[in-house]
Amino acid sequence: MVSDVVLSNFGSKTPLFLGDFNGDGLTDFITPQTVYEIPEDDNSGLKLADTYYRMETETLLWWKYTGNGVSFEKNQEDYTQQKIAYLKPSQNNYIKRTTFWQKFWNGKPDEYAYTRYSTHNIVITDFNNDGRSDIITFNKLGKAKYNANGSLAGVSIDNLGSNLTRMTAPLVYESFNSVIANRINFYENKNLNGGTFQQLSTLSLENNKISPLSLILSTKNFDYLNTSQSGVYIYDPLLGFSSDIVIDNSNFLKNKFRRLIMVRMFYKGWNTET
C-alpha cells in the first residue's frame, strides 16, 4: 500500500497508524516525527521523568498521509497543544546498590528491586460516528517485581504516580506533575480535512493497576445497527482482568447537535463516569 511513498522521519521504531481522517472512505495514515523512549540505564528514574517532561514541552510534529486512491499527499501536523506524543513501550530496572564496605566485608551484592514500565498506546477509531477517525491515547506508569526464574505467576504490580522528578543540572532536581502520565484521552477529529483534534474527555488511571503485558485494542458496542459505544478494550493477563473504557454516543444519530457523550470505565467491578 505504501511501497511507493517516501516516509519522512521514519525509522525502525516509528509506528504507522491507519485511519480515515477526512471521511472519504480511503485509507490515510499518520506517523510521529519523534519517537520517545525511556532509557534502560535509568536506575534512579530521573531519565523517565525527563522523557515525560520533554514530551510535554517539546514541539510534537506528525506527518499525515492522505490517500486519494492512487497516491498519498503528505502534510505536517502539529499536535503540541493536544499533547499527542508517541512513547515506545519501555521499561528499566531499579537495582538496590550496596556500599563498597558491604561488598568488601561480607560480599553483599546489588539486589534487583523492581522494574519500572510505561505502557503506552494510541488507538485510531471513529468514536463519534461521524465517518472520520478520532484518536485515543493511553498511558500508564507502574512497577513490576518479576520472578528470578522468569515465571509470570505471582508477579506483583504496583502503581507509579504522575508526580515525577528530573535532574536539570548536577545535583539540581525539579518535580512536576505530568499531564500525560496515567491518563486516557479522547481526541475528536474536528476538521473536515482531518488533522485537527480537540480533546473531548480525559480520565485518570492513577489508581488503576494495569500491567506492562496488557493488550489494548479498539472496541465497539452496537445498539441494533448503530454503534452506541466506542473506546478501548484492555485485557491484562498478569492481573487477570479485562475492562472497557468507552465513549457512550448512543444519542449521536438521534440528535447530532445535542448529543450526550459520557466516558464510562468498567474496571474490576466498578464503574466511573465523567
Instruction: Look at 269 and 63; give whichever has higher pLDDT.
Output: 63
Provide the 8-state DSSP code for 214. Answer: -
Query: Could you tell me if 110 and 98 are in contact, meaning their C-beta atoms sit under 8 angstroms apart?
Result: yes
CB burial of residue 234 (10 Å; 0-12, 13-18, 19+):
buried
Amino acid at 39: P
**Predicted model pTM:** 0.81
- At residue 254 the predicted structure's pLDDT band, cuts being 50, 70 and 90, is very low
pLDDT at 227 over 60: no
Provide the 8-state DSSP code for 209. Answer: -
Mean pLDDT of 67-77: 90
pLDDT at 182 over 90: yes
What pLDDT digit, counting tens, does each position of 86-138 carry? Answer: 999 877 665 544 444 444 456 555 566 778 888 899 999 988 888 899 999 99
Instruction: Look at 274 and 147; give whichever has higher pLDDT.
Output: 147
Which pLDDT does position 263 carry in this prediction?
A: 46
Helices (H), the chain: 46-57, 100-106
Which residues partner with 46 through β-bridges?
Answer: none
Which pLDDT does position 45 carry in this prediction?
A: 86
Instruction: Look at 245 and 121; give whichever has higher pLDDT.
Output: 121
Q: Within 10 Å of residue 83's Cβ, how many Cβ atoms? A: 17
Mean pLDDT of 204-220: 88
Which pLDDT does position 32 carry in this prediction?
A: 96
Instruction: Look at 267 and 225; give whichever has higher pLDDT.
Output: 225
Give the Cα separation of 109 and 102 in Å (integer). 8
Nearest of 271, 209, 269 to residue 239 by alpha carbon: 209
pLDDT at 192 over 60: no
pLDDT at 262 over 90: no
Beta strands in 40-85 (DSSP E): 61-67, 72-78
- At residue 148 the predicted structure's pLDDT band, cuts being 50, 70 and 90, is confident
Which residues partner with 197 through β-bridges?
Answer: 189
Query: Could you tell me if 29 and 124 are in contact, meaning their C-beta atoms sit under 8 angstroms apart?
Result: no
Which pLDDT does position 3 carry in this prediction?
A: 54
Which pLDDT does position 114 carry in this prediction?
A: 73
Of all residues in the chain, the percent with pLDDT exceeding 90 is 39
Of the candidate ranges 35-44, 198-207, 246-255, the one whose mean pLDDT is the lowest: 246-255
Mean pLDDT of 66-85: 91
Give the Cα separation of 106 and 271 in Å (integer). 53
| HEC per residue, 76-117 | EEECCCCCCCEECCEEEEEEECCCHHHHHHHCCCCEEEEEEE
pLDDT at 223 over 70: no
Give the Cα separation of 198 and 22 in Å (integer). 15
What's the mean per-residue pLDDT of the chain? 80
End-to-end CA distance of the chain: 39
Which pLDDT does position 108 carry in this prediction?
A: 58
Of the candidate ranges 134-148, 200-214, 215-229, the one whose mean pLDDT is the lowest: 215-229
